[in-house]
């Protein structure tokens, strides 16, 4: 069962990220982040790790930062951590 707090998670700008990705490796990282978010029990640590890799891509940094730094995303991650998921 998916945590109810996921309702507050802003949508990952998947289409925009894929459009800005310059390599297959970047697209794979985007897909890995998306897959982690879709899990029944996503890991806050895994999400942060994927985001850090994406932040190294110049064309993706603003898109991923806007999503990750959104207060709703941060609340979602804090809820995951506090729930032990």
Confidence of residue 7 (pLDDT cuts 50, 70, 90): low
Give the single-character DSSP code of 70: S
Mean pLDDT for the chain overall = 89
Longest dimension (CA), the chain: 36
Asked if pLDDT for residue 3 goes beyond 50, the answer is no
**pLDDT over 90 at 23, yes or no:** yes
Full-model pTM: 0.86
């Amino acid at each position: 069962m998916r945590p109810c707090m996921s309702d507050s998670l802003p949508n990952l700008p998947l289409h925009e990220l894929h459009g800005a990705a310059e390599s297959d490796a970047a697209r794979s990282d985007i897909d890995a982040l998306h897959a982690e978010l879709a899990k029944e029990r996503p890991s806050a640590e895994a999400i942060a790790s994927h985001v850090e890799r994406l932040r190294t891509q110049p064309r993706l940094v603003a898109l991923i930062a806007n999503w990750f730094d959104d207060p709703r995303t941060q609340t979602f991650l804090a809820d995951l951590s506090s729930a032990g998921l």
